[in-house]
Chain A
Amino acid sequence: MDVLPDVIVEARGLQKFFGEVEAVRGIDFSIQRGEVFGFLGPNGAGKTSTMRMISCMSPRSAGKLLVRGHDPAESGSEIRRGIGLVPQDDALDSEMSVLDNLHIYGRYFDIPRKEIRARAKVLLEFAQLTDRADSKVDNLSGGMRRRLTIARALISRPELVILDEPTTGLDPQARHLVWERLYQLRREGVTLIITTHYMDEAEQLCDRLVVMDRGLIVGAGTPRSLIEKTVAREVVEVRLDDGNYLSLVDRLGDHIDRAEILGDRLCCYGEDGDQILDLILALGIHPASSLVRRATLEDVFLFLTGRSLVD
């Protein structure tokens, strides 16, 4: 397999089985150096299994995988030297101080103590934890812990940072602070791989992404292209008192690209949402409620899998 120097991860027919269970069922993707690449999908889609294979923590069951130009089956330790991993559950040393967590992690990478001290100072500022350097990890909030985990992953100055659900369980303010830090890394040229089941996170952060469902990639592209290619630019959501959605869809005919009935509402997709709504009103139909919005990755996911992303 030929790999261009600007490709940092390349997978072909990548599979992962756990006994009889097929967690990842043959996926292809390649990630460019310097981009933010997302894996979007619901829980159980195979995102974490894929991350563990890329970070050389779990052997693949079949297929090809090259990370940083090497095969994880042969040089896991060497590959991991250039990767910073931010796991879903932080896995910090809860008995140690913030600074000690950074220190010991740096030691795993053979970084000299003096050098670690210098880097830790910068990273604590980056993570806005300078005044908590001596606090025990046990006493930190969820957002602080996540920022510390990100700082910890950066102590080895990795060229590739893998973040598994980086903002799950954080409040909106803490989430935005994490996003800000990730933008900063991207500006510095670090390649980021992010898994998430938040569509807004994927839309905000990712240059390119793949949508995963049940171990397969069901869509790929930039967030906008994926939305426009798969669904349409805008959506009109309407609720009707009589619930007679099928006849409405019939009457709208070619004026909409597609329609989906979602529980008690109808989503009509098209280029211009306001125009569609005007048309509905012109038909003499008066919805109980209506909403015109831009189509999101949530709609893409719904279209691709027939299911909602977050239950």
Chain B
Amino acid sequence: MTTYQQVLRLTPAMSFSWRRAQHVIEHNVMNYRRNWFYLVSGFFEPLFYLLGIGLGLGRLVGSLSVDGHPVSYATFVAPGLLAAAAMNGAMWDATFNFFFKLKVEKTFETMLATPLSVLDVACGELGWTLIRGAIYSSGFLVVMSIFGYCQSPLAILCLPAAGLISLAFGACGLAATSFMRSWQDLGTVSLAMLPMFLFSGTFYGLTFYPGWLQAIIRLTPLYQGVALLRDLDVGVLTPVMWVHVGYLCLLTLIGFIVVSHRLVRLLTP
């Protein structure tokens, strides 16, 4: 009986069509048409960090080394901020906006009264976090190249890598948000993200930390992303990059599975 009920529950919810998922993205685009200012404003945050800390503070720091390549401090910081831009873009939609649609506006219930399925909704929302992350990271990458912080033609690979960072954070953010009961709960996500932004190798290397703390920081998705982008930016290809890529792919997969199951539970009781 249990399996029969599970099949009943999962089959219709888990049907998927890429075309239908696109309409979920379309919903987000339409929503932002009236609120484009919010979309654009998010781009400036990493830019201000780059100018303030990379350029300003960088004069006091001098040059650093990445994989034996001597680079200016701003060049060191830029890939870290690129990773943070990819993270923040995805997280903003995966947390506050997703919660609003899930709990306040009941957007997804409306969608599920149409041919759309839960899996369409989950894919569409994840797709939109990727798009928003990609808007910020590609904009920031253009700024980096204009300022001369891209050290190698391979830096173009930062774009798909930043996309992967957005996907990993988007999927985990959606999964975490699906467990939140109130706006206050969402505050804990912001609380976790700020130290991650500051201490995951974004502004300085891990050698400052004791060994055990380094090991913990290496487990954060932002560190994995920063390390990946920093190597690509100076044009160094190492096998360890596959570990970063694999780790971010795994997080994306886990986050996506969790959020899909949570949405089935929450939306089709």
**A-side interface residues toward B, CB under 8 Å?**
18, 55-61, 72-78, 80-81, 83, 85, 87, 89, 91-97, 100, 103-105, 107-110, 156
Contacts and interface: CB of A to CB of B under 8 A. Distances in A.
B3 to A, nearest CB: 13
Interface SS, B side: helix
Contacts of B7: 73
Given A77-B12, A110-B115, 12 more contacts: A59-B9, A76-B12, A77-B117, A81-B114, A83-B113, A91-B105, A91-B106, A93-B105, A100-B30, A104-B26, A108-B115, A110-B20
B109 A110 contact: no
B23 A108 contact: yes
B59 interface: no
Contacts of B115: 77-78, 80-81, 108-110
Contact of B30 (A59, A87, A96): A96
- Of B8, B20, B31, B116, chain A has the most CB atoms within 10 Å of the CB of B8
13 contacts: A55-B113, A57-B109, A59-B268, A76-B12, A77-B17, A77-B116, A92-B110, A93-B107, A94-B105, A96-B30, A96-B34, A108-B114, A156-B114
- Of A57, A58, A108, A109, chain B has the most CB atoms within 10 Å of the CB of A108
B269 interface: yes
B114 A93 contact: no
Interface in B100-136: 105-107, 109-117
Contacts of B34: 95-97
Nearest to A136: B34
Contacts, number: 92
Nearest to B120: A77
A96 B114 CA distance: 19
Nearest to B116: A108
B114 A105 contact: yes
B269 to A, nearest CB: 6
A162 to B, nearest CB: 9
Nearest to B24: A108
Given A58-B269, A59-B268, A96-B31, A108 B111 contact: yes
A258 B250 CA distance: 71
B181 interface: no
Contact of B15 (A76, A87, A107, A108): A76
B88 to A, nearest CB: 22
- 9 shortest A-B CB distances, which residue pairs? A76-B12, A108-B114, A85-B113, A91-B106, A77-B115, A73-B8, A91-B110, A59-B8, A107-B23
Interface string B8-22: 110111010101100
Contacts of A91: 105-107, 109-110
Contacts of A75: 12
A110 B116 CA distance: 10
Given A58-B268, A96-B30, A104-B30, A110 B19 contact: yes
A54 to B, nearest CB: 11
A110 B267 CA distance: 22
A59 B13 CA distance: 9
B182 interface: no
A76 B115 CA distance: 8
Contacts of B69: none
Contacts of A61: 5
B207 interface: no
B86 to A, nearest CB: 26
Contacts of A77: 12, 15, 17, 20, 115-117
A85 B113 CA distance: 6
Contacts of A58: 268-269
B35 interface: yes
B106 A89 contact: yes
A146 to B, nearest CB: 15
A92 B101 CA distance: 11
